[in-house]
């Protein structure tokens, strides 16, 4: 074995695909030996497609664990699919590596991706590896399967529909503060759990079939609860009035509430990857019992009313809260 | 009108999508107002998907005309689809802009994309805009439609099949030298045409149905003729022996041949976006007459023989040419 090999020789593109990514490929991907993939669709079904990219210094820290970068790159996309009612099936990966990329980094990145392929039952269809001068940039395009009439956009909420939110809100936003080393957050007992929520989003993909069956509209919360609820309201042209006290918070987030600005951060920070779901009132009983039956959690927050398309959040005193920034702005 | 507006206020993400990209959206894209798109597939058809990203400083120069960056980002993907036999239908766009991005840049980028949508009859399904610290990085995922049994991989060439190549080879590789300001190339009479071939690839997408009907294997040439022919040979486990003199060259490339290394550059440089197509010999007459009937050009170069999977290029004296680098290496 030469010195060079012992130091971890970097593979070329062909070897890199063969070694790290071909094992993740599925049907129609030709073992990643071809230039494209063939997605077959069962009769009566359609494909749902979404594409979200993440870049070092913007969506993650360049020195974050490679596993967390892999998890985030894939899961933010599976989140979008499931929130539309689609069952995730496969994904394509464009991976831009910095010129000084390390084999160890890639090994950990690929290992997490393999683990997520099993966890979410998805396979790689193909993609591209390239040099990206400013550190990793990862563009995943994800594909889901759906009965075409079960797709749920953010445009379909009607007055009278009930608003639900899955899981808990704000864990990742406060986890980002832990990651940044903000002292008040770093010394919380739940700090590790918050950090993990930021690094490893856990979109509740099990909701996909329930969304397809019961929802009038749905979307995932990626840019913050308040802002994304406002987007749903605007797209459907309905208003929602939500009591902040009703928004489900984890034990770790509740522990943080005495910190000035923590509630606002939890409600407006991004990276929740939970779902907003509206359900026509006549289907609510069936929906909530299906949710319980599947061992999932969703909290009812409001009833949509005809309006200008606004989300109003009420503080404990019943007054509308004001936020400096409603949600994460990409630009 | 405020000073700020007059100076060209930069739109936020929502406004940016609404103004520049929503007009390019097609069926199932919900006017880019939703988080995903719905791709419907006709019975008996499948979707072909491919994803190629391009980054400033790697695949293009940061100060290239934004229109050429847009054209390249989209067309390199349409090239992959058509080379598999698929008819391009739509695409998803992840657009990473540098922090100092300009409205003028984006306007020209989007205008070219709109023009290409018309030229190639494709529509935008969605995507993502984000900040990319080191200048534009663009990840396109493109979707084509195909009868499932018409997909042509690079694995299907058999001994006895004839090898064809579309169009001409090397224009873009020499155009890159013009772009770099290499004097011998810059003063060629055809310099402008070579530069244009580098900046605005013209994949012969009209070949898609002919590939589906007649080919045993096909792929586009993106990383250089010699290297990509070697990949086709290796994937299909056949050998090809091609006389360099038979490789079709444009007038502009022929003018450059007296320059030392020009032929090697033309044969091994990237960015051709022409197609390698193998056709079983019994279908050759029908293929060539269909090509002529469609007003297209393809040159017959070789016959596949059983072998180790190599491409051998013969110089005028009948000796195998040796190349420093067979094709563009991504890493």
CATH number, domain of B307, equals 3.90.650.10
Give pLDDT < 50 ranges for chain A: 1-7
* Percent of chain B's residues with pLDDT above 90: 85
Whether residue A274 lies within 8 A of chain B, CB to CB, comes out as no
> Which residues of chain A are within 8 Å of residue B30 when distances are taken between CB atoms?
153, 155
A47 touching chain B per CB within 8 A: yes
- Calculate how close chain B gets to A258, using CA atoms only, in Å: 33
Q: Is pLDDT above 60 for B221?
A: yes
**Torsion of the alpha carbons at A245, A250, A253 and A254, rounded to the nearest 10:** 50
Provide the pLDDT for residue A5: 37
- pLDDT number for residue B3: 34
Q: Is the pLDDT of residue B329 over 70?
A: no
Say how many residues make up chain B. 331
Burial class for B148, CB neighbours closer than 10 Å (0-12, 13-18, 19+): middle
> What value does the CA radius of gyration of chain A take, rounded to a whole number of Å?
21
Distance of CA B183 to the CA centre of its chain: 27
Q: How far apart are CA B225 and CA B63, in angstroms?
A: 27
Size of interface A-B (CB pairs under 8 A): 218
Complex ipTM: 0.89
In this prediction, residue B123 carries a pLDDT of 97
H or E segment and range at residue A233? helix A225-236
Q: How many domains does chain B have?
A: 2
- The answer to whether B45 and B145 are in contact (CB under 8 A) is yes
- From A127, A150, A173, the end of a domain falls on A150
Position A100 in a domain: yes
User: Is B230 found in the same domain as B279?
Assistant: yes
Inter-chain touch A132–B128, beta carbons under 8 Å: no
- Give φ, ψ of B179 to 5 degrees: -60, -35
d(CA B158, CA B314) in angstroms, rounded, equals 21
A195/A173 same-domain check: yes
DSSP-assigned letter for residue B159: T
Question: Could you give the 3-state DSSP secondary structure of residue A25?
Answer: strand
Model confidence over A225-270: pLDDT tens digits? 999 999 999 999 999 999 999 999 999 999 999 999 999 999 999 9
Q: Name every residue whose Cβ is closer than 8 Å to that of residue A291 and which is 6 or more positions away in sequence.
A: A207, A210, A297, A298
Q: Which of A121, A150, A179 is the last residue of a domain?
A: A150
Q: Is residue A327 part of a domain?
A: no
> Which residues in chain A are closer than 8 Å to B84, comparing Cβ atoms?
34-36
In chain A, the residue whose alpha carbon lies closest to the alpha carbon of B62 is A133
Structure-model confidence comparison of residues B4 and A250, the more confident one: A250
Segment B260-288 shows an average pLDDT of 97
Q: Are residues A171 and A140 in the same domain?
A: no
In a domain, A220, yes or no: yes
User: What phi-psi label fits residue A127: left (phi over 0), alpha (psi between -120 and 50 degrees) or beta?
Assistant: left
pLDDT for residue B328: 62
Among A150, A172, A206, residue at a domain's last position = A150
Residues of A in contact with B141 (CB under 8 A): 49, 51, 92, 94, 141
User: What residue spans of chain B are helical by DSSP H?
Assistant: 3-6, 13-16, 66-83, 103-120, 171-179, 183-186, 191-199, 208-214, 225-236, 251-256, 262-268, 284-293
Beta bridge partners of B138: B54, B95
A167, A310: one domain: yes
Same domain, B17 and B45: yes
Q: What is the C-alpha separation between B123 and B300, in angstroms, rounded?
A: 34
> What is the dihedral sign for C-alpha B226, B55, B174, B106?
positive
Query: Residue A74 and residue A142: Cα distance in Å, rounded?
Result: 8
Residue B203 CA, chain-centre distance (Å), reads 6
Asked whether residue A20 is domain-assigned, the answer is yes
CA angle A118/A119/A123 to nearest 5° reads 45
Same structural domain, B304 and B166: yes
- B contact test, residue of A51, A54, A57, A234 with most B CBs within 10 A: A51
- Which residues does chain A have within 8 Å of residue B143's beta carbon, measured at their own beta carbons? 49
Q: Do A12 and B235 touch (CB under 8 A)?
A: no
Q: How far apart are CA A140 and CA A71, in angstroms?
A: 11
- Mean pLDDT of the region B123-139: 91
Name the residue among A312, A232, A243 with its Cα closest to residue A274: A232
DSSP string for A240-279: EEEEGGGS---HHHHHHTTSTTHHHHHHH-S---EEEEEE
How far A199 CA lies from chain B's nearest CA (Å)?
Answer: 19
Following DSSP, what letter does each residue of B79-94 receive, concatenated? HHHHHTTPEEEEEEEE
User: Which residue range is the domain that position B113 belongs to?
Assistant: 3-150
Q: What number of other Cβ atoms are within 10 A of residue A308's Cβ?
A: 9
Say if residue B22 is in the same domain as residue B130.
Answer: yes
Same domain, A109 and A172: no
Of A36, A52, A94, nearest to B53 by CB-CB distance is A94
B-chain CB neighbours of A55 within 8 Å are 96, 130-133, 137
Between these two residues, B11 and B328, which has the higher pLDDT value? B11
Q: Is B245 on the interface with A (CB under 8 A)?
A: no
CB of B187 less than 8 A from some CB of A: no
What CATH number is attached to the domain comprising B141? 3.30.1330.10
Q: Is residue B331 part of a domain?
A: no
B71 touches chain A (CB under 8 A): no
Residue of A86, A125, A128 lying closest to B52 (CB–CB): A128
- The predicted model gives B113-123 an average pLDDT of 98
Q: Is A331 among the domain residues?
A: no
Task: Say if residue B2's pLDDT is above 60.
Answer: no
Residue B312 main-chain phi, psi, to 5 deg: -115, 125
Report if residue A28 sits inside a domain.
yes
B266 in a structural domain: yes
Measured between CA atoms, the residue of chain B closest to residue A39 is B47
| pLDDT per position as a tens digit, B182-214 | 999 999 999 999 999 999 999 999 999 999 999
- What is chain A's percent helix, strand, coil content, to nearest 5? 40, 25, 35
Facing residue for B38 by CB, picked from A12, A43, A46 = A46
Q: Do A194 and A113 belong to one domain?
A: no
pLDDT 10s digits, A185-235: 999 999 999 999 999 999 999 999 999 999 999 999 999 999 999 999 999
Residues A170 and A26 in one domain: no
The answer to whether B94 contacts A52, with C-beta atoms less than 8 Å apart, is yes
Question: Is B199 found in the same domain as B106?
Answer: no
Q: Are residues A9 and A146 in the same domain?
A: yes
């Amino acid at each position: 074995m030469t010195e060079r090999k012992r130091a971890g020789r970097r593979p070329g593109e062909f070897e890199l695909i063969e070694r790290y990514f071909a094992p993740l490929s599925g049907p129609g991907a030709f073992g990643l030996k071809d230039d494209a993939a063939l997605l077959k669709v069962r009769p009566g079904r359609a494909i749902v497609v979404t594409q979200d990219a993440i870049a070092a210094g913007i969506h993650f820290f360049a020195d974050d664990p490679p596993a967390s970068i892999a998890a985030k790159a894939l899961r933010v996309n599976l989140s979008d699919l499931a929130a539309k009612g689609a069952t995730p099936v496969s994904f394509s990966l464009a991976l831009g590596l910095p010129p000084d990329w390390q084999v160890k980094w890639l090994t950990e990145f690929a290992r997490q991706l393999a683990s997520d392929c099993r966890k979410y039952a998805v396979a790689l269809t193909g993609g591209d590896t390239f040099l990206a001068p400013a550190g990793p940039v990862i563009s995943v395009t994800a594909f889901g399967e759906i009965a075409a009439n079960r797709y749920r956009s953010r445009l379909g909420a009607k007055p009278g529909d009930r608003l639900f939110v899955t899981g808990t809100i704000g864990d990742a936003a406060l986890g980002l503060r832990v990651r940044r080393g903000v002292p008040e957050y770093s010394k919380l007992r739940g700090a590790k759990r918050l950090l993990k929520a930021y690094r490893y989003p856990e979109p509740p993909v099990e909701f996909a079939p329930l969304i397809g069956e019961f929802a009038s509209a749905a979307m995932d919360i990626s840019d913050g609860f308040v802002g994304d609820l406002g987007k749903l309201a605007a797209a459907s042209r309905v208003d929602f009035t939500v009591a902040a006290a009703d928004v489900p918070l984890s034990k770790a987030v509740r522990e943080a509430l005495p910190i000035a600005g923590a509630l606002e951060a939890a409600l407006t920070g991004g990276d929740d990857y939970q779902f907003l779901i509206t359900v026509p009132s006549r289907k609510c009983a069936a929906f909530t019992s299906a949710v319980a039956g599947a061992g999932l959690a969703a909290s009812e927050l409001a009833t949509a009313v005809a309006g200008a398309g606004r989300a109003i959040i009420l503080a404990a005193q019943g007054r509308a809260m004001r936020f400096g920034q409603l949600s994460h702005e990409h630009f």
